[in-house]
Structures are given as structure tokens and as C-alpha cells.
Structure 1
Amino acid sequence: MTNSPLSPTDPIASRNEVLAAYLDDFRAIVIGKVTHLAPEEQRRSRLASGWTPVEMLKHLRFVELRWIEWGFQGRTFDEPWGDWRDERWHVDPDESLEDLVAALRAQGEHTREVVLAADLAEVGQPGPRWDGAEPATLERIMLHLVQEYARHAGHLDIVAELAQTGSADAERPA
């Protein structure tokens, strides 16, 4: 697993900024791991579950959309599950790595703006995202997103080992 450049002793102004910074860091780590893979490995599945690294990028973009925009902000989307088709993650062949990375980064910028402008104790808007449950606070949503990214970064380490490209951490010192 990549060591984060963030340290518990780094001076950061608020809990909002801490959570946004960790999410930004894990997003950059995931993007770095996928782009470090050879192009043929980016669209190849090496695990029994069948997902590919580019599918993970699209999945994470939609995870942020579902939790921040659809859940917390209560926005309406025609396809909040746009990463999901035929019971699995999906990327169309014409979706480029560059476009997927750009979409994930743009989603991340939106997430950061929302998190820095809101109170972490604020509760998400009622709506279909919550499937009848009480909406979560922004703090709980952010903790969920950080763990989701951390878990998937570890999955990408396994994929990189299987692809024999090491741990995909060439962009960071250990």
C-alpha cells in the first residue's frame, strides 16, 4: 500500500479539510496506479470478480456522484448507476483513459467544494439514494468515501503485482 504524504501532524485548518485532503490523496493514488499500468493492463481483468482498472476509475467517479450529489445534495440523475451494466461495472470501448481520469478529477473537485462549504454534521437530503433509510451526515459519507478509495487502492496493488509491474507505486517514495 502506498504511504500517504499526509501525516497526522500536518497542520490542516479543519476536519473538513482533513477529510477532503485524504480523499484527494487516495483519488490521486488510484489514478496514479491505473495510469502506471501498461495500456493493455488498464482494460484487462486479472481477478475472478472480472473488473478492470478503467472500470474502477469510472466506478469511483460514480461512487462520489451517488454519495455527494445524489445523496448529500439531493440532486436528481437519470443514471446514478452509470458505472453499472449487466450486473457489473462497465466502461464502453470508446471511453478513453484520459476521459475517465478527467471525469474522476472533475467529480473530485466538486466533492471538495461541497465538503469545504458544508458542516460535517449536516445530514444529506432525503431521497432515493437512501432507499428509505435516514440520510447520513456529511462526515459519515466522507469517512465511507475515504475507506472505499483506500480499499480499492489496495485492490489495484494486487492487480499491479499480477501484471508484474510491481506495486504500481513508482510515482511515490515508500
Structure 2
Amino acid sequence: MQTPPDTGPLLAGPPVGESDPRALLLGYLDWYREALFRKLDGLTEEQLRTPVEGLGWPVLALVKHLGWVERRWLRWGFLAEDVLGRPPGGTPAEWRIEPDEPTADVVAAYRAQVERSRAITAAAGLDEPSAVGGRFPTPEAAPPMGRILFHLLQEYARHLGQLDAARQLLDGVTGP
């Protein structure tokens, strides 16, 4: 029996013919950023905000966490800006949504951080080292932009896989 042709794209992310490492890293990072919201689409406010049984965190907290990840690696890390690397309350606060914390505010904070991240990555070469200070105390500890982008990609890939599991537990839906 012959399998019908797949009508979706051959590869998700940047164009199939893209081979430039910078374009691939930034293209896939943007694809994952957009996939985050595709995977949340259709969830109710309650589903977004209630910790998922078996995981212990609400899916909206993943949006919050990824915004802090971008801030930690690009602003506090790469630029050594004098900003917090974690919210008050540390890591647990990244994975918690407070009752008085509007969903729109969590999404807006994430989107603002992504725009800041895009500006930072647009201005730096892949081989440009991170500034010393902030997250990286010495030149030896300061990775280049390309290494940071690669780390961000694996962070998004891992967490969006977790989001697939969370979504399946919530309503059985998974997808690109």
C-alpha cells in the first residue's frame, strides 16, 4: 500500500535550503518561540493557569520561565547588564503563576524580552564573546554568542517537548 504524500513542510523552521549557521540558529530560535504559542492555542484561562497533574507547574509558567531564560543568557549573560538573572523568589518563582498575575502580563513580559533578545543577537557575531560581569565572572567563563544561541535552542526544544506532554495531559492535543 502506498503512503499518501505529506502535505506539510519538509522541515520546520528556516527554509530547507538554508545553510548559514547564523541564519539557522536564529531561524530555529524564532520557530520555537512561535511554536510555544501554537502549542498553547486553544487552552482556557483555567488550563493555562492551573498546575498540570503529574508535572506540578501550569503551562503559562513555561512562558514566564522562557522569558527569564532569555534574559539570563542574553542580557545578564551576554551583555552583562545589571539586571536580575532570576525573579525575586528564585527558580520556584519562574514556575509559579500568582492568582493576581494576569495572563496578558506574563505574555507581554515574554514578548518584550524576546524583542530585546532579537536586538541583542542582531548586533553580535556568533564568535563574539560575552561580556565579563553579570553571569560570567571571568573571560574564561564567558561563552561566545553562538554557544549561547545553541544553548537557547536546546532549552526551547526540551521545554516544548515538556509542553507537548503537559498539553496531552490537559486535553490530548499535541502538534508543531
Aligned to 2:87: 82
Aligned to 1:138: 145
Q: Relative contact order: is structure 1 or structure 2 higher (C-alpha 8 Å, sep ≥ 6)?
A: 1
| Aligned counterparts of 1:48 and 1:138: Cα–Cα separation in 2 | 36
- Secondary structure of 2:135's counterpart equals helix
Residue from 105, 118, 126 that aligns with 2:124: 118
Q: 1:6 to 1:164 in 2, by over 3 A?
A: same
| Aligned counterparts of 2:155 and 2:36: Cα–Cα separation in 1 | 11
Aligned to 1:160: 167
4+ aligned runs moved over 3 Å, structure 1: 83-88
Which sections of structure 2, spanning at least 5 residues, go unmatched? 1-8
Alignment identity in percent? 33
Asked which structure has the greater CA Rg, the reply is 2
Note the C-alpha offset of 1:131.
Answer: 5.7
TM-score for both structures, normalised by structure 1: 0.82
- Secondary structure of 1:51's counterpart equals coil
Deviations 1:105-151 (A, max 9, x none): 22112212221221110111112413666111100100000110111
Whether the aligned pair in 2 keeps the contact of 1:24 and 1:108 (CA below 8 Å) is no
| Aligned counterparts of 2:88 and 2:22: Cα–Cα separation in 1 | 27
Aligned to 1:28: 34
Aligned to 2:6: none
Deviations 1:42-64 (A, max 9, x none): 11222545221111111100100
Whether the aligned pair in 1 keeps the contact of 2:78 and 2:130 (CA below 8 Å) is yes
* RMSD, aligned α-carbons: 2.4
1:40 aligns with 2:46: yes
Whether the aligned pair in 2 keeps the contact of 1:43 and 1:52 (CA below 8 Å) is yes
| Aligned counterparts of 1:36 and 1:111: Cα–Cα separation in 2 | 27
TM-score for both structures, normalised by structure 2: 0.81
| Equivalences, count | 165
Residue from 89, 92, 101 that aligns with 2:98: 92
Which sections of structure 1, spanning at least 5 residues, go unmatched? none
